[in-house]
Amino acid sequence: MYKAKLNIISTIIVFVNINLTANDDDSLYFQFEPDSVNLEIGDSINVKVSLLSRDGSLSKNQFLLTGEWLSVEVKPWISNPDGIANVRLKVFKSGSFNLNASNITNDRFKRIRGSLPISVPAPPIEKVEFIDPPNTAYEGTRIKFLVKILDQAGIIRNDVEPIFNSSNKTIAKFDEFGNLSINQRGRVQLTVSINNQSYNNIFSNTELRILRNPVRKIELSMNEGSYRTGDVITFNAKAETASGREITDVPIEFSFTGRANYGIGLPASGLVTPEGKFVAENPGEYTIYATSSGFTSSLTVKIKPRNIKKRAKLIGHGLITDVFTSDLWVWQGVDEFSDRDFAVTGTWEANGEAYFWEVTDPSNLVIIDTVTVDARTVNDVKISADGRIGVITREGASSRKNGVVILDVSDPYNVKILSEFNDGLTGGVHNAFIYDNHVYAVNNGRKYDIINISDPTNPWRVNSYELKTPGHSIHDVWIENGVAYSSNWSDGVHVVDIGGLQFSEENRYTIMNNPILQSAGKGSTRNPILMTSKSDTTGRNHAAFPFLSQSTGNFYVIAGDEHFPFGLGEIQNKEPANPRGGYHFLNINNYKKPVEEAVYQVPEAGSHNLWVHGDTLYTAFYQGGLRVVDISGELLGDLYKQGREIAFYLSNHPEGRIPNATMVWGPHPYKNHIFFTDMNSGLYAVKLVDYDEKDD
């Protein structure tokens, strides 16, 4: 822990009314002792949190506690059943934070909430330094210099502006962003310091020797071909001497201009990377430039429309209006029902129902059975790969015994409850997955428990996977080939080895073409091992789906956002909600260094659950409806703007729970149809047809 100095910024103590409630029920309130906290980075403190009735007595109501990501750690994160918690807080970053508390209720909109303000002063800056600066450079080029600023707690500070300087601006001159323009040969000393008089003695130097530039021409090449919007074109640039010798260590910058085919000839949009990869968003003509040392080479390409549009034709609809519909799963029956297809859908903020449907004829979606459990929300529903076992999640149970319910679905007309598992799942299970006789249950938004259901009448916990970062949380988990892909809000995607895929001749191709599977197999359900992760600085990572591109062999994980900046209007006010969010395509060919390469986002709509089949993405975009997207080929840039959307369907039913309000929850492509649920109007089946095909 750093030592405080005399010039440390003074702590500002903030007092707030902590007895605020989230609704009109004022019978309970939170009490924090102490009622505000002031700590330095690395310090800890004990805090007593009580949920009290208005007469000051303990409420006998259990509650959850949360810190803030990478900033505030809180242990334990759940109170005892009497409504009291003795918490140990530890802080890891400077700033103003809160310890948040929320009681466990069956109705999420009747929860009592409270918060304890935490103030952590910023430590003094300790050093600033260049990151891997070069020793030599060529005249007539430009180089970007990166720096790292550390405070006395050893934390990188991105809130402090560096100042760049050159000892001879005639030779080389910085701009305010750290770009050094090199004009002539010689030696120059480069300095980075802090834009603050308190830190005049904190700086770092490096010496740069500038050489004669031998480059006399740039050669630019590409593979000839016919290109559409969204296709990635790789341009290869070579810097050469007058005799044709290639210079490999000279920087080359790429740029482009374009003219679209439409309108009055507005500039066409696209993206070119520092490595020379280019993708166009509009049909038209584009000229790509490679520039270095005062020399430029260019090539012009013609980009055609992608022309992939289809129409999502409604085939069948099962209308549900009395409750909100949540998740779905579609599967083929077993035994005497093996010639039939079935689906299960959940319910949200309702009465604990899960509906079972026959969907053999997608034009005639019929509820054939209903399972009702003690819950407010059945958020997630899953069916095992053999079609015999189902699991539904429970939140908001009146008994506060939330968890998962294991079902026998071998006869979908007569579904039977085999068992419940609620040990340690008081706060509720939001999502779950069935894989290889185990249920992976997201527990209280903190971790996922691994529950053995080899005997589905007697489930038992094998282990749990929980992150170690301060203020961590989790939303979802998806399992494929013995690898778990969890979505962890700010901590992003975690890829965890739970046994991998065992090698056989049957799965040789799958393993050899998947960089994750080539290295997996060291973990197990008893010993889950983290393979890689990529954080999400927006804090909105809600879903993850892995896929191996059939057209390129690249391995991706699609990381989906969820964000409700304007609140859940459709529940509280019976008005349509207005969420936001999109999908981030993480290339994991080098699984130790995931790289985000592309995004897909519908403007003014919010992403939710997704599915990939082949090289096609099927996704729920809440008020933006069902979206079907071409994800073939190399992926780069903004896929929505590139015209990769194949089709969409807006399920705005006039008799919906909220009339004419689309709110698609999740898709499931199945046997040439796309099944999906809409929160306001139930279960749908659509099929992709030619755009000009008429309805029957």
Per DSSP, the residues of 581-610 read: --EEEEE-SSTTS-EEEEEE--TT-----E
What local confidence, expressed as pLDDT, does residue 297 receive? Answer: 98
Confidence of residue 316 (pLDDT cuts 50, 70, 90): very high
Q: Render the burial of 225-247: b for 16+ CB within 10 Å, e for the rest.
A: eebbbbbbbebebbbbeeeeeeb
Q: Which two tokens stand for residue 124?
A: 């003094």
pLDDT at 13 over 50: no
Signed CA dihedral, 684, 689, 692, 696: sign only = negative
CATH 2.60.40.10 fits domain 217-304: yes
Q: Which two tokens stand for residue 319?
A: 């209308």
How does pLDDT run across 359-402, given as a tens digit for each residue? 999 999 999 999 999 999 999 999 999 999 999 999 999 888 89
What local confidence, expressed as pLDDT, does residue 21 receive? Answer: 38
Calpha distance 625→605 (Å, rounded):
9
Cα of first residue to Cα of last residue in the chain, in angstroms, is: 73
Calpha distance 275→246 (Å, rounded):
17
pLDDT at 3 over 90: no
Mind spelling out the 3-state secondary structure of 196-248?
Answer: CHHHCCCEEEEEEEEECCCCCEEEEECCCCCEECCCEEECEEEEECCCCCEEC
511-518: long-range contacts, CB 8 A cutoff, minimum separation 24: 513/548, 513/553, 513/555, 514/481, 514/548, 514/555, 515/555, 515/588, 515/589, 515/590, 515/591, 516/483, 516/546, 516/555, 516/588, 516/591, 517/481, 517/482, 517/483
Q: Locate CATH 2.60.40.1080 in the chain.
A: 125-211
Helix, strand or coil, per DSSP, at residue 41: coil
Compute the average pLDDT of residues 419-425: 93
What local confidence, expressed as pLDDT, does residue 512 receive? Answer: 86
Residue 621 and residue 664 in contact, taking contact as beta carbons nearer than 8 Å: yes
Question: Which residue's entry shows tokens 């007697």?
Answer: 458
Radius of gyration of the chain (CA): 29
Closest CA to 377 of 324, 422, 332, 450: 324
Top-tier CATH class for 125-211: mainly beta
Calpha distance 63→56 (Å, rounded):
17
Q: Which two tokens stand for residue 420?
A: 């419940």
Q: Which two tokens stand for residue 153?
A: 């707690």
pLDDT at 16 over 50: no
What local confidence, expressed as pLDDT, does residue 24 receive? Answer: 38
pLDDT at 489 over 50: yes
Q: What angle do CA 137, 140, 143 make, to 5 degrees?
A: 50
Higher pLDDT, 674 or 23: 674
Q: Which two tokens stand for residue 15?
A: 């007092």
Please give the full DSSP string across 240-285, using - where no structure is assigned. E-TT--EESSS--EEEEEEEESSTTTPPP-EEE-TTSEEEESSSEE
Please give the full DSSP string across 353-367, using - where no structure is assigned. EEEEEE-SSTTS-EE
Q: Locate CATH 2.60.40.10 in the chain.
A: 28-120, 217-304
Query: Edge to edge, what strands does the sheet with 179-182 contain?
Result: 142-144, 179-182, 172-174
Closest CA to 354 of 332, 331, 373: 373
Residue 59 and residue 28 in contact, taking contact as beta carbons nearer than 8 Å: yes
Question: Which residue's entry shows tokens 């559409």?
Answer: 228
pLDDT at 406 over 60: yes
10-14, 402-406, 532-536: which range is least confident on average? 10-14
> Which residue type does 329 have?
W
73-82, 329-338, 452-461: which range is least confident on average? 73-82
**Averaged pLDDT of the chain:** 92
Query: Edge to edge, what strands does the sheet with 555-561 contain?
Result: 541-548, 555-561, 583-587, 595-600, 637-638
Helix, strand or coil, per DSSP, at residue 516: helix
Q: Which residues contact 526 (CB under 8 A, 6 or more apart)?
A: 462, 463
Instruction: Give me the CATH topology for the region 310-690.
Output: Methylamine Dehydrogenase; Chain H (2.130.10)
How does pLDDT run across 216-250, given as a tens digit for each residue? 999 999 999 999 999 999 999 999 999 999 999 99
Residue 389 and residue 406 in contact, taking contact as beta carbons nearer than 8 Å: yes
Q: Report if pTM > 0.85.
A: yes
Instruction: Give me the CATH topology for the region 28-120.
Output: Immunoglobulin-like (2.60.40)
Q: Residue 594 burial by CB count (10 A; 0-12/13-18/19+): exposed, middle or buried?
A: buried
Calpha distance 196→450 (Å, rounded):
52
452-457: long-range contacts, CB 8 A cutoff, minimum separation 24: 452/525, 453/389, 453/391, 453/406, 456/389, 456/406, 456/408, 456/418, 456/419, 457/406, 457/418, 457/419
Calpha distance 508→571 (Å, rounded):
49
pLDDT at 186 over 70: yes
pLDDT at 2 over 90: no
